[in-house]
Amino acid sequence: MTDPLKDLSFKTLFEAAADAMLLVNDKGHIIRANAVALDLLGYSEKEISSLEVEELMPEEYRAQHHHHRSAFYRKPEKRSMGSGKALSILRHNGEVLTVDISLSPMQSKRQFYVLVTLHVADRRNQAEEALRISEERLMLAKQAAGLGVFDFDSNHNIWYWDERMRELWGAESNEAIATKQFLTAIHPEDRAAREAALDRSIDPAGNGEYSAEYRVTNPANGVEQWISAIGRMHFEDGVAIRLVGVARDITEQKILEKNWQTHRSETEALFAQQVASQTVSAIAHELNQPLAAISAYSEVALHALQNDHFDQKNLRQALDGCVKQSQRAGRSLHELLAFLQKGELITEKLNLNNIVLESLNLAKSYGYGEFQLELQLEPDLPTILGHRVQIQKILVNLLTNAVEAMRGAGVPTAAITIKVSTNAELNMAHVIVQDSGPGLDAITANRIFEPFFTTKHNGIGMGLAISRALTEANGGRLWLEPNVKAGAIFHLTLPFAP
C-alpha cells in the first residue's frame, strides 16, 4: 500500500491548516504565511513576505526577541513560545491580538526554518476577562458613589436589591423584598410623587426614564434618609416589564439645600427691608427741597396776609410758587417710582447746554441760587441721548451739594464753575461741576456714593447714590475727581445720540 502522505506536499498541508502559520528563516524573515495567517494578521501575501517576525510584535518586546531567536537557533526544538503564556501580536492595523504561539524547527538540505503556529487564545475567555474587568470597574464606581442597584421584574413582581440597597432600606441580606415593604418605607408625603415618576417611566410613548427623590424611613433604626433614584424601564411588545436603576443617599445634600434656602429667604427679607428703607429715603430726598420751598412761600403769603394792606402781587407770586413746587414734587415722585420699578427708560435727543441752564434755574427756585457762576458751554455740542428730568435731577443735586458745602464752610466767595465739553477720548458729553467749598477728605470721598452716607446733620445721604444710579441708567458715569487741592470737582459723562 502506498503512503497517502507521499502525494501531499508541505505546501498543500501548510495552506490547508486550520491554524495560522508562518514560515520564518534563520534570519527571522517571514518567507511565507498561509491564508489563515494572512486573514488573521490582515496582510497581503506580498506585504508579509517582506517582514521580520519582530515587526509582528508590540514594540516593547522586539529587542528582547532577537536574543530569544538566537537561543532558539542554538537549541532548536519543538516548543510553545512564552512558556505556554498567551502572547500579544500586532495586526496590520495596529490592533493587538492575544495568541498562543508554538514553534517547530524545520531543516531542509540547505536551510533552517521555523514553522510558527499562531493559535488565537480562546475568544470566550477574552470576552469573559473583559467582562470581569468592566464589572470590577463598575463595582468600584458604584462603591465610590455609594450607589445601590435595584432591578424590578414587574411581570413576576420580583425585586433584586444589592447590599447597598438593602442597607438604605434596612433590609436583611437574605431577606426577600416585597413591594409593600418597599412602599411603606417611603415617606407618605413623597409617595404620590414617586408613583407619578413610575407612571411616567411606564408610559410606552415616553423614553422609559425613571427619576424620583423621596424620603425613606429605615425600619431597623427609624432613621429618615433622602433617596435619589434613577433608572430605565424596559419594554416588551410595548408593555413595561423591568425597571433597572440605581439609588443613592442624598440626605446631606438636602440638608445643605434647606440651609441654603433658609439663608436665602433671610437675605431676601433683609434686602427687601433695605430696599424699602432706601425707597422711603429716596422719596424723602425728592420731597425735601420742594417742601422747604413751599414752606418758605407759605410764610411769605401768611406774612402778606397779616398786613391789612397786603400786596396782592406778592401774595399771588407766593401762592403761585407753592402751586408750582407742589406740582413739581408730584411729578418728581412719579418719575422716581417709574425709575424704581425699572420701567423702560424713555430717552430723547437732548441739548445738554440747555439742560444745564434749566438745572441752574431749578436750583435757584429751591433757594440755591446765590453764587458766582462761571459757565463754559460748548455751543456746537452734539445732542445727547437721555432722560431730561433725570439729568436735571443729577445736575441740581450737584449744584445744591456745592452750595450747601460752601454755605457750611462759610467761604468768602461762593463760586461754581460749570464746563460742558466733548470728551473725545470717551466719545461722550462731559460736564464738570467745580465749587470753591472745603472739598472732601480722602475717607469721606470714598463713601459719598454710598446710600445714607451724609456728613450733614439734616442730610439724608441719598442724593449722590440716586444721582449715580440715574447717570448709569442713562448710559453715563458720575465720579468725584480725587486729590483736588481746593473745592470739589464732580464729573458727569453722558452718551451722544447716535
**What residues line the site for ligand ADP (CB under 6 A)?**
397, 401-402, 405, 435, 437, 440, 444, 448, 453-456, 459-465, 488
Contact between 116 and 40 under an 8 Å Cβ cutoff? The reply is: no
Compare residues 209 and 450 and give the one whose CB is closer to ligand ADP.
450
Rounded Cα–Cα distance for residues 196 and 415 (Å): 76
CA 9 vs CA 4, 6, 188, 347, 349: distances in Å: 11, 7, 84, 102, 104
What's the closest the beta carbon of residue 492 comes to ligand ADP, in angstroms?
13
| N residues, the chain | 498
**105: buried, middle or exposed (CB in 10 Å: 19+, 13-18, 0-12)?**
middle
* Burial class of residue 193 in the structure, from the number of CB atoms within 10 Å of its CB (0-12 exposed, 13-18 middle, 19+ buried): middle
Shortest spacing between CB 402 and ligand ADP, in angstroms: 4
| Minimum distance of ligand ADP from residue 464's CB (angstroms) | 3
Q: Which is nearer to ligand ADP, 37 or 402 (CB)?
A: 402
Q: Give the residue with the Cβ less far from ligand ADP, 40 or 363.
A: 363
- CA dist 119 and 17 (Å) reads 11
HSE of 418, CA atoms in CB hemisphere, 13 A = 22
Closer CB to ligand ADP, 82 or 461, in the complex: 461
Amino acid (one-letter) located at 26: D
- Is 372 or 455 the residue whose CB approaches ligand ADP more closely? 455
* Residue 453 Cβ vs ligand ADP, minimum distance, rounded to whole Å: 5
Q: How far is the CB of 459 from ligand ADP (least distance, A)?
A: 3
CA distances from 249 to 131, 156, 212, 255, 278 (A): 28, 28, 12, 12, 45
Q: Which is nearer to ligand ADP, 386 or 437 (CB)?
A: 437
Q: Which is nearer to ligand ADP, 182 or 453 (CB)?
A: 453
Q: What whole-number distance in Å separates Cα of residue 48 and Cα of residue 32? A: 8
CB of 447 to ligand ADP, least distance (A): 8
Q: Is the dihedral of CA 284, 285, 287, 293 positive or negative?
A: positive
Beta-carbon neighbour count of residue 80 at 10 Å?
A: 14
Cβ 434 to ligand ADP shortest distance, Å: 9
List the 489-495 sheet strands across, edge first. 372-376, 415-423, 428-435, 489-495, 477-480
Of residues 315, 291, 320, 321, the one with CA closest to residue 303:
315
CA distances from 235 to 158, 200, 201, 244, 343 (A): 16, 13, 10, 12, 54
Least distance (Å) from ligand ADP to the CB of residue 289? 11
Our CB check for ligand ADP shows the closer of 72 and 453 to be: 453
If the CB atoms of residues 362 and 384 are measured against ligand ADP, the closer one turns out to be 362
CB of 497 to ligand ADP, least distance (A): 28
Nearest residue to ligand ADP on Cβ basis: 463
CB 433 to ligand ADP: min, Å = 8
The least CB distance from residue 454 to ligand ADP, in Å, is: 3
Nearer to ligand ADP, 148 or 487 (CB): 487
Residue 20 vs 478, nearer CB to ligand ADP: 478
In whole angstroms, how close is the CB of 484 to ligand ADP at the nearest point?
A: 10
* Contact between 84 and 75 (Cβ < 8 Å): no
Q: Which is nearer to ligand ADP, 35 or 329 (CB)?
A: 329
